[in-house]
């Protein structure tokens, strides 16, 4: 394993990733962040803004995208690939990951995560503190499973969807791309793409708009 790691994003999530990387065995960890002047980096240096990425590759050949926005994180992950960086996953040593699960590149699994047999975790996904992913789930690229969320078997969470803190997802449901599951929700049926749902049972709140203002 390369012993250095560059973390893109020095916010709260980035700091959690950096801390886990040290516990995992990385010896040197640093950030790139556009808030290079104002960010509080604690133990880890901020080398510069994200535009400095390509110039850091010789000294920091391995990097992980660690920003909370799912689409931005996935875009940064692809930028790392295009620039030729190694894109390791950071799995906290207390995470329990089946040897018969598939973990792609750039994944973060926080402390207390459980990933069971047959699960497939896509590029740049976040499995946050204490989340459980049961057998044969599919978590697609850029998705975020928040702290304390629990997914029963055969759940699919499509690209860049967000499963809120403390949510529970019934076996076999599918969460569409870009959908948001509100905190503490109980999801018992499929959720279409780009919909926000919340409650127990979860119900649609609104159709999300894209950047152009169109649904």
Active site amino acids: 135
Torsion angle of alpha carbons 170, 158, 144, 124, nearest 10°?
A: 140
CB 128 within 8 A of CB 145: yes
CB 95 within 8 A of CB 77: no
Q: Exposed e or buried b for every residue in 65-99, given b needs 16+ CB within 10 A?
A: bbbeebeebbebbbbbeeeebbbbbbbbeebebee
Residue 107 exposure: Cα atoms within 13 Å on the Cβ side:
23
Phi, psi of 20 (to 5 degrees): -65, -35
| Both structure tokens of 214 | 């169109």
The residues, any chain, with a CB within 8 Å of residue 188's CB and separated by 6 or more, are 170, 173, 201, 202
The residue whose two tokens read 């996935």 is 74
Q: Alpha helices of 32-129 — where are they, by DSSP H?
A: 70-83
């Amino acid at each position: 394993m390369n012993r250095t790691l560059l973390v893109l994003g020095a916010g709260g999530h980035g700091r959690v990733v950096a801390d886990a990387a040290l516990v995992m065995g990385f010896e040197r960890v640093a950030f790139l962040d556009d808030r290079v002047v104002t960010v509080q980096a604690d133990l880890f240096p901020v080398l510069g803004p994200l535009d400095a990425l390509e110039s850091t590759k010789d000294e920091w050949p391995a990097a992980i995208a660690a920003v909370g926005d799912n689409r931005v994180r996935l875009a940064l992950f692809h930028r790392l690939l295009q620039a030729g960086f190694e894109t390791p996953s950071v799995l906290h040593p207390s995470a329990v990951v089946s040897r018969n699960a598939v973990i792609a590149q750039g994944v973060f699994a926080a402390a207390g995560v459980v990933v069971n047999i047959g699960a497939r975790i896509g590029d740049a996904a976040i499995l946050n503190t204490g989340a459980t992913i049961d057998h044969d789930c599919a978590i697609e690229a850029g998705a975020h499973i928040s702290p304390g969320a629990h997914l029963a078997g055969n759940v699919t969470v499509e690209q860049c969807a967000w499963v809120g803190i403390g949510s529970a997802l019934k076996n076999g449901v599918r969460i569409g791309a870009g959908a948001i599951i509100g905190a503490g929700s109980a999801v018992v049926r499929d959720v279409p793409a780009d919909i926000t749902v919340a409650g127990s049972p979860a119900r649609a709140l609104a159709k999300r708009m894209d950047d152009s203002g169109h649904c």
